A = this chain, B = another copy of it.
Amino acid sequence: LAAKRRELASRYQLAFRLTGIATGSHGHAINPAGIDPKRALRRIESGKSIARLHVGDPVLDTLDFIRRRPAQILFEITPLDPIKGQPALDHIRTALEHKIHVITANKGPPALAYRELRELARKQQCHFRFEGTVMDGAPVFNLVEKTLPASRVLGFYGILNATSNFVLTEMEKGRSFRRALKRAQAMGIAEADPSYDIDGWDAAAKTAVLANVLLGVQIRPSRVDRKGIGAVAAEDLEKASRKGRVLRLIARVSRRGGRTVARVAPELIRQDHPLAQVRGTSSALVLETDTMKELIVTEMEGTVEQTAYALLSDVLTVAQSLS
């Protein structure tokens, strides 16, 4: 938001004010007149609470924070819980019930309760947007919604978990699993709990969101046939290489008859397949459509900046519908 402040004003006649921040361990702050994000960041980075920036009655908890609604948009960016989706699910429900638009990068809620949240948003005449849940700000949901009219998504497969892909491609270079994982964590790309990346939960949650939204089915992350990269050994990569293949954690959904088959697992990919060249923190999704056959979107070397852009692009979708 800070980097694009001028452009938002000149190109979209859009101004914004940060009126509240709720954190897990650094307190809450509400100020309808606006909070300086840099000041809040400085406090958090030096380990202090942001409660000092708060104006008005004390905040009881995050739901109380949301209910006070001094804002038009809630950004829900708590960490993933692939089983219960909490506390994000309650945050989002509360916001929508109070007619606050919701933009989230948390996969849990749309993976677990997409239909419920979509219907609640519709009823409340609010937006519920989540472009950042899959491949950061690379258009995936917006791609299908806004640029592939009259098309049907028949299935998809792709590389959706940056940490696993980073670890696998570092191992290809001869690094150990542990060292590669440590580097991913240092880069800030791993989930708060890295086992969610390594065990395939993050990819399974993304798979569920994609299936729910693009294929119109209802699949929970726990129903995705899931195998992570924890058991992959250096020998597996060497064996793959000798066969002209590479090992990648692939998320895959297809429909057979009326049945939906959803799977996350390490797969051998031919070196001449576009997905074989997706390395490090890059990610890619192959959409199988009735109109464009296979269409691939690839995000090169995603960082948290690209996740931030996902939230911004959703803000603009919301803003354009309100103007």
Cα A86 to Cα B306 in complex, Å, equals 43
Interface size on A, residues (CB 8 A): 45
Main secondary structure of the interface of A (DSSP, over half): mixed
The reply to whether B7 and A292 form a contact with Cβ atoms under 8 Å apart is no
A147 within 8 A of B: yes
Quick one: closest B residue to A270, CB to CB?
A: B277
List the B side residues contacting A313 at CB < 8 Å. 147-150, 291
Query: Closest CB-CB distance, A123 to chain B, in whole Å?
Result: 22
Q: Which residues of B contact A272 (CB under 8 A)?
A: 277, 279
A142 to chain B, nearest CB (A): 4
Q: A286 — which chain B residues lie within 8 A by C-beta?
A: 300
Whole-angstrom distance between the alpha carbons of A237 and B64 in the complex?
66
Chain B residues contacting A279 (CB-CB under 8 Å) are: 272
Give the chain B neighbours of A320 by CB distance below 8 A: 149
Residue A12 at the chain B interface, CB threshold 8 Å: yes
Say yes or no: is A309 at the interface (Cβ < 8 Å to chain B): yes
Contact A150 B300 (CB under 8 A): no
B309 near A292: Cβ-Cβ < 8 Å: yes
* Selected contact of A297 from candidates B11, B295, B301, CB within 8 Å: B295
Query: A274 contacts the other chain (Cβ, under 8 Å)?
Result: yes
In the bound complex, what is the Cα–Cα distance between A5 and B4 (angstroms)?
42
Are A143 and B150 closer than 8 Å at their CB atoms? no
Q: Contacting A298 at CB < 8 Å: which of B8, B11, B298, B309? A: B298
Q: How far is the CA of A291 from the CA of B139 in the complex (A)?
A: 12
Complex-state Cα separation, A127 to B142, whole angstroms: 22
A233 at the interface (CB under 8 A from B): no
Q: Does A259 contact B (CB under 8 A)?
A: no
Instruction: Please give, as numbers and ranges, the residues of chain B lying within 8 Å of A232 by CB-CB distance.
Output: none
Chain A residues in the interface with B (C-beta under 8 A): 4, 7-8, 11-12, 136-139, 142-143, 146-151, 272-274, 276-279, 284, 286, 291-301, 305-306, 309, 312-313, 316-317, 320
23 contacts between A and B (CB under 8 A): A4-B150, A7-B150, A12-B150, A136-B292, A137-B292, A138-B292, A142-B147, A143-B143, A146-B147, A149-B313, A149-B320, A150-B316, A272-B277, A273-B277, A274-B277, A274-B278, A291-B306, A292-B299, A294-B300, A294-B301, A295-B300, A297-B297, A297-B298
